[in-house]
């Protein structure tokens, strides 16, 4: 019986193929079979499009795995079971599989969940995760924003935690990265207006892609349907930058003196 192949999560960055790491690029051309995620069967894959823009031909045996965009627990469970079972079936042929991941495979990505379910089915399957450029790191670079310096603090959260949580974190962190902002964009804008933070916030859609969009007048997005691949960077200049950590350091230095 052949040993199982290895499951590899290849991070591709958020949209610009030039941000694909050399390690991921090499794996894509290693002869491993490609797997890529789609929301619906036969639908286009954003992760696959990144590689295509990089100039690589899609192998004829590349295969899609369907991960529906829904909060229905039963539908999700069935989809994950099917995807994991098919992945194990292919790995049983002894050939490595490379799963294409937009952004970074360890940050709010499908790959972590897939790998976990696969190893629940077959614990001895080898998994490799190749790190990559996250969407918020690329967004900071595109907008010229520094996410954190020296002792400053940074929080990265999905916006669907709600404006109550976001409001609280604005008092605790110097910079907030709000991911998956699409469903909450109006509520977030209203909160930023109340907190007088519109001028220090920026919205980025499809960062790194040919149709990347940067909106600095975030209030203009009120009522607009934005793309799913969008995020917001929010900085709170009213905080004493890095005050929490500096305060802890000062207390420690005082105790040691």
Task: Reply yes or no on whether the pLDDT at 247 is more than 60.
Answer: no
Residue 80 has a pLDDT of 86
For the stretch 54-111, pLDDT in tens is 999 999 999 999 988 777 788 888 888 899 999 999 999 999 999 999 999 999 998 9
Whether the CB-CB separation of 98 and 91 falls below 8 Å is answered with no
Residue 253 has a pLDDT of 53
Tokens 């990089």, located at residue: 54
Residue 105 has a pLDDT of 95
Distance between CA atoms of 129 and 115, rounded to whole angstroms?
9
Which pTM value belongs to this model? 0.87
Domains assigned to the chain: 7-130 (3.40.1010.10), 135-244 (3.30.950.10)
Residue 69 has a pLDDT of 76
Catalogue the E-assigned strands of the chain. Answer: 7-11, 33-38, 63-66, 97-101, 127-130, 154-158, 175-179, 201-205, 213-215, 230-235
Tokens read off for 216 = 């600095």
Residue 77 has a pLDDT of 81
Q: What percent of the chain has pLDDT over 70?
A: 92
């Amino acid at each position: 019986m052949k040993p199982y192949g290895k499951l590899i999560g290849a991070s591709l960055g958020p949209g610009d193929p030039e941000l694909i790491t050399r390690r991921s690029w090499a794996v894509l051309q290693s002869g491993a079979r490609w797997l890529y995620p789609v929301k619906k069967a036969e639908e286009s894959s954003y992760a696959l499009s990144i590689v295509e823009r990089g100039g690589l031909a899609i192998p004829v045996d590349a295969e899609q795995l369907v991960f529906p965009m829904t909060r229905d627990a039963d539908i999700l469970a069935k989809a994950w079971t099917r995807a994991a079972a098919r992945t194990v079936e292919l790995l049983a042929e002894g050939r490595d599989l490379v799963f294409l991941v937009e952004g970074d495979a360890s940050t709010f990505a499908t790959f972590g969940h897939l790998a976990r379910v696969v190893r629940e089915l077959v614990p001895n399957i080898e998994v490799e995760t190749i790190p990559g450029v996250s969407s918020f790191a690329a967004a900071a670079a595109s907008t010229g924003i520094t996410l954190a310096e020296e002792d400053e603090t940074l929080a990265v959260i999905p916006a669907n935690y709600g404006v109550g949580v976001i409001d609280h974190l604005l008092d605790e962190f110097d910079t907030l990265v709000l991911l998956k902002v699409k469903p909450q964009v109006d509520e977030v804008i209203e909160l930023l207006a109340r907190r007088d933070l519109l001028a220090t916030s920026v919205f980025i859609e499809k960062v790194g892609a040919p149709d990347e969009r940067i909106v600095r007048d975030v209030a203009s997005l009120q009522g607009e349907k934005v793309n799913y691949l969008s995020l917001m960077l929010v900085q709170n200049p009213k905080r004493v930058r890095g005050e929490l950590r500096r305060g802890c350091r000062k207390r420690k230095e005082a105790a040691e003196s």
